[in-house]
Structure formats: C-alpha cells, structure tokens
Amino acid sequence: MDVTLLGTGAPQGLPRPGCPCAACATSVGDEARAATALLVDGALMIDLTPGPAFAAARAGQSLTGVRQVLLSHPHDGPVMEVPAGLPQPGRVADGRELALLDGHRVRAVAVDIPGTGYEISGATGERLLYLPPGAAPAGPVNGNGRTAGGGDTGGTGPYDLVLLDVPARPDALAKLRASGAVDAATDVVAVHIDHDVPPGPELHRRLAAAGARAVPDGSTLVVGEFHAVPDLPRRTLVLGGARSGKSVEAERRLAAFPDVVYVATGGTRDGDQDWAQRVSLHRERRPGSWRTVETCDLVPLLDAGRPGTDAGRPGTDAGRPGTDAGARGTDAEWPGPEAEGPGAGRPGETSPLLIDCLALWLTHVMDEVGAWDDATWEAGGRRALRERTDALVAAVRRTHRTVVAVSNEVGSGVVPATAAGRRFRDELGRLNAAFGAECEQLLLVVAGQALALRG
C-alpha cells in the first residue's frame, strides 16, 4: 500500500497566508507545506488540499483513479476545490466500516475533537492510522490499534504507519504507544504541521526526540517499509540557567511516551508562596497521565527494573514514599496491587524517569552532610558528599530506564560572595560533568533554544 502526501501542513498551510511570524517567514522549500491530504494507492483520497490535481501531478500521481474522497475534519482553511471527475467528499460514521472495490477497508475512528480518524487496511494486510489535526483517539485504544468497542476489521498488532499531529498532540502518540498500537517498528510521520514549531532542523530535532519524522509534500510512503528514526537516547541531561526553558525541554522530550514518572526533588517549602507558585506551574504543565514522586532518593528509582534488584519496588523500603529513605511524600501515590492501567502494582519500574532537578538534589544532600559549615565540611562532609554523588553517577551508568534529568548551569555567572556559595557552585559543576559523562545526550538550553552538546 502506497500513500502519497499531497500536503503535510495545517489546514491553513505553512506559511500561513499573511502571517509575519518567524516560523512562517522561514517556511520555504521543503519546509513549505500545503494542507494535509493523502492519496492511497491512487484510489482513495483523505482530505483535500488547495489545487489537489496540481499537487498530485507534482508528486507524479494522477487523480483519475480516485473512487472515494473522505474528509477527516471541518476544512476551515482556504476554500477547497473538488476537481472535475472526483466523487463528492464524504465521511464515515464513527465505528463504521467502508469496503472499497479495490480491496481497501476503511474504518472510522472516534477522536476527541470534531472530526474523524481513519484506519485503512490494504488488500495484503498493511494497516495505517490517520488522525485529523489536533486530534487524539477518543476513549481507550486496545492493542490492535482500535478504540474499544470499535468492531473487528481483521487487523492485529501495531500499525505499520501512523500519521498524526505530533507537535500539537504528543499525548496522542503516548496513548497509542501505551496501548501497543504503536511500537518501535511503526513509522510515525508528523502531518498538519503548523507555525507553532520553528521549521527546519528544530522541527526535525523535536520529532526525532518523539520517535517520529516529517517528510516534504509530495512524498510517497510504502506502508510497512521500515524507516529508521534516530535512536532515542536512553539517558539525557538538560542543562540551562534560570528560566531558560530547560524544564520545558525535558518535559517535551517525554511528552510522546506513556507512563512517565516525574521525580520532583524540590519538595515543599512552608510559607514560600513563590516556590508554591513555581511548583503549581510545573504540575499544570505536565500531562495528567504522568505520575509524580517527590523524593531525593534517586538511586533506588534508577535501579528499579534492573535485573537482580528489587530496589524501588513496592514492599521494599528503598526509595518508597512514606519511608525514611529520603522520600518527601507524593502528590500521586505509587500504585498498589489493586491499581489498574499501565504500570499497575509497581512504581513504573521500566517507565521513563524525568528528574527535576539535580541542583535541588545536591542542595538536599549538602544539607544532610553538613557541607555548609566549613569545619564539618573538612571533618568528613566533603567525603560524605563525594560518596553520595558517586553513588548517583554509578546508578545512572547501570540504569536500564530511560532517564531525562534537568540541572542548572551556574558556572558562567557572577562568582558567589560566600564560601558556601562557591562550594555549591563547584560541586554542582562537578556533578553535572560526572552525570553528563554517563548520558548519551547532553543539551544546553539558552533562551528557550536547545543546543546539542552531545548526541
């Protein structure tokens, strides 16, 4: 089954008509995109794009064989023409199935906004899923890639190809991954691309981090043909100054993956309204499906799921909220045996970890070892801190989990006026260097822009 993308942009296209933004100004060449439309094996057309006949001809295709035109969403962009000879566009009701004479089967998939997704099966069993702009499947999706109760089309297992609005709805991709509808062999292609993400290298970098890719208008994809996406780094350290966007970048890197465990090392500070507001903003920004653990006992979490260890597992004391192993409570309890859904009965032993942040972890540890007092520091605090940081770095090296960690880059500013301030600056620099040495990818965020230092 071949799919030609006559357009890959948002309904208004990219650049948007009359828009002066930087993204639109730089959307030229392969980064200029017409409204998304699909031509499947020259016989089935999904959605319309301006000048579809010309778009097809430019892609080396013809519309003369099209027998069905389906719409997935209200077309609120430029007026769409229906070329002479094409059937009038229509829709398939949610959960209903359409069988075409050439062997294609189309099933309508309910989505969470006005519109309809389509699951398309080829005559030889290939399967793809197409979602309208800004949409995710409505309701649970089972391992066959179908919304629960959606009927049986005979296809099983993950989709071969998924086309969806990855930049706007990474949670939709996370939902499909959680259900088994998308796996490592699924070709995930971003469509409905708008001006919210800078085009060019930044767009492709963000998509690669989500395990997806973008292709130019006119590209033809062979469903079931494997396309390598850059390997997702298992360990990433995101550095940046205050308000640089480092936490947003870290969250963005895991937004398209399910069952993420967010490890907050800052805890709570009674009476500090500014801190409470910061914590609230972080919580509101995180996907509702993520679980939060507030703890500075990171080693058991990193070791969880590693062969031969029960660290971090419910029923043990190491790293469990409510024990004396450094936990500070949670705003989402670790699930017990009665819990349901992904990761039920365990604290996400193989779930990705997002640790925010190492600077607060270091502050906590320096408090515990008495590092702020010069006499205590020289009498054993230095050695105790080194043992704790060495243990953390060793856990990062041996972890089997996907880890994204955030830390402050404080070594480029004003020299602290106090000995304690200089000590913290120096120790954080050493920790960042040692932690980063164990990571496949190292990013520095400046003014909201992520610069790859490694990977």
68-91 residue pLDDT tens: 999 998 866 666 678 888 999 999
pLDDT range class, residue 217, cuts 50, 70, 90? very high
| pLDDT for the residue numbered 350 | 84
pLDDT range class, residue 150, cuts 50, 70, 90? very low
pLDDT above 90: residue 395: yes
| Candidate from 78-87, 101-110, 397-406 with smallest mean pLDDT | 78-87
| pLDDT for the residue numbered 412 | 81
Spatial distance between the Cα atoms of 292 and 453, rounded to a whole number of angstroms: 29
pLDDT above 80: residue 370: yes
Classify 221 as helix, strand or coil. strand
Burial of 420 (0-12, 13-18, 19+ CB in 10 A): middle
E-assigned strand segments in 82-132:
97-99, 105-110, 116-121, 127-130
pLDDT above 60: residue 310: no
Mean pLDDT of 320-341: 34
pLDDT range class, residue 140, cuts 50, 70, 90? confident
Spatial distance between the Cα atoms of 256 and 174, rounded to a whole number of angstroms: 4
| Candidate from 39-48, 183-192, 216-225, 262-271 with smallest mean pLDDT | 262-271
User: Residues 75, 204, 282, 400: which is the catalytic one?
Assistant: 282
| Candidate from 121-125, 171-175, 247-251, 336-340 with smallest mean pLDDT | 336-340
pLDDT range class, residue 315, cuts 50, 70, 90? very low
Spatial distance between the Cα atoms of 254 and 160, rounded to a whole number of angstroms: 22
More confident residue, 232 or 236: 236
The pLDDT > 90 percentage for the chain reads 67
The DSSP result for 415-433, as a single string, is: PPSSHHHHHHHHHHHHHHH
| pLDDT for the residue numbered 358 | 97
pLDDT range class, residue 179, cuts 50, 70, 90? very high
| pLDDT for the residue numbered 76 | 65
Spatial distance between the Cα atoms of 327 and 332, rounded to a whole number of angstroms: 13
The number of residues in the chain equals 455
Spatial distance between the Cα atoms of 68 and 41, rounded to a whole number of angstroms: 12
Give catalytic status of residue 75 as yes or no: no
454's CB contacts (< 8 A; 6+ apart) are 436, 439, 440, 441, 442
250-264 residue pLDDT tens: 999 999 999 999 999
Average pLDDT value for the chain: 85
Task: Answer yes or no: are the C-beta atoms of 250 and 223 closer than 8 Å.
Answer: no
| pLDDT for the residue numbered 318 | 37
Pairing of strands 441-446, 403-408: unpaired
Angle, helices 246-254 vs 273-285, to 10°: value is: 30
pLDDT above 90: residue 288: no
